[in-house]
Amino acid sequence: MLSLRSNRKILNMKLSWLMIWAEILFLNPVTADCNITSQTVICKESGKNLHTIPANLCQNVTKLSLKNNKITLNDSDKKVLQRLTNLTELYLNENVITVLYNNSFCKLTKLTILDISHNHIITVHQAAFVGLNQLTKLNLFHNNITQLDSDVFTSLKSLKVLNLQDNLLKSFHIKSSFKLITIILAGNPWNCSCDLLDLQKWLTTSSVTMENENNTLCAFPNTKKIISIRTAVIQTTDCDFKKDSLENTVTSTSVNKLRSTAFLTSLASSNNTIGNNGTHAELPLGKSWTFLVGVLGFVLSTTLLIFTAIKCPTWYRYLISYSHRRLEENDPEMFEQEFSADMNSFSTVSDTNNEHSIVIFEKIHAFVPEEDGFIEDKYIDTHGISEEN
């Protein structure tokens, strides 16, 4: 009886495994191209059938080889890798990866070997290798990398071997705290000038072994082509001069940025409006430029209106023809005109009637605002006065 039950259990287990394999073979043809052995998955090394990492891989996989396919390491690939937290070896060599984005391997904390050689990698983001705390070997051989930030490898505390052979690197700013056992730098067009000084100092002061040193040569300048980058003579005086010039440039750039920031801050503060309850309601940041354009348009339109009003012929004649000047007391010019007029009238009267002529001098008063507005006639009929006398 017991043996019958045990046989049934064994049969059920076999059927379940058969169903799993049938699902793998027929429902998931992508995984059918992969050789699954224990905790190792090797997917068609020469088939070039895979464009993405299979999504139905077992989470217990420790070694995954996706060599010689068409994987780009896109967002879906990164999501699949985040589930494979037990991976210790990952081979993505000979694919079509062009960019290593930030956090591409962030959940692979047990990974020790990462091979991304023979791809088309141009850019490596600063946080591309974040999370690889146990990584000891990184292979970036034969890519198109032109520049590497000094902080790219900062998070790789356990890294021992770094292969950067056959890329397009001209310089490599590396920190002195970066510790390796082996580094491979051959096959790059190194520029043995001031930009390579940090790498040269690190190579000479640290205990790192540079493999294939005889082929790690200076490509620029031409006079140093046959010299190793470790032993190339770099004029430090020129580097100090360039460093000072660079610092001055950076300082001036920083000042300009601060001024620009201050201007933008004042502009943003001017975008605040008064709410109904007396509090400041800040306008959306996207409307700051709209507000600035509106202010400039208002100023320009007002200036244009003023210019038109001044230059318009009708208004211009009206403004010029309209002039008013109040009489001022003791005005010398007016007094001289009035006195000359009196003298002329006096000479006329004296010529007509010399015997009975009377000369009257009258003080001319300026207009006083407190009076009734009538101005006394400045000319007196002397003939009438002489006849009355």
Q: How far apart are CA 151 and CA 139, in angstroms?
A: 17
Enumerate domains of the chain plus CATH numbers: 23-242 (3.80.10.10), 332-388 (no CATH)
- Could you count the other beta carbons within 10 Å of the beta carbon of residue 108? 23
Q: Apex CA 155: angle with CA 154 and CA 156, to 5°?
A: 95
Task: For residue range 215-232, list pLDDT tens digits in order.
Answer: 999 998 877 678 899 988
Q: What is the mean pLDDT of residues 346-353?
A: 47
Residue 193 has pLDDT above 80, yes or no: yes
Task: For residue range 302-337, list pLDDT tens digits in order.
Answer: 888 887 777 676 656 666 665 555 545 555 555 455
User: What proportion of the chain, given as a percentage, has pLDDT over 70?
Assistant: 57
pLDDT of residue 84: 94
Q: Whole-prediction pTM value?
A: 0.57
Residue 81 has pLDDT above 90, yes or no: yes
pLDDT of residue 306: 83
Q: How far apart are CA 232 and CA 327, in angstroms?
A: 95
- Could you count the other beta carbons within 10 Å of the beta carbon of residue 156? 20
Q: How far apart are CA 38 and CA 61, in angstroms?
A: 8
Q: How far apart are CA 232 and CA 200, in angstroms?
A: 8
Please, are residues 164 and 137 in contact by the beta-carbon 8 Å criterion? Answer: no
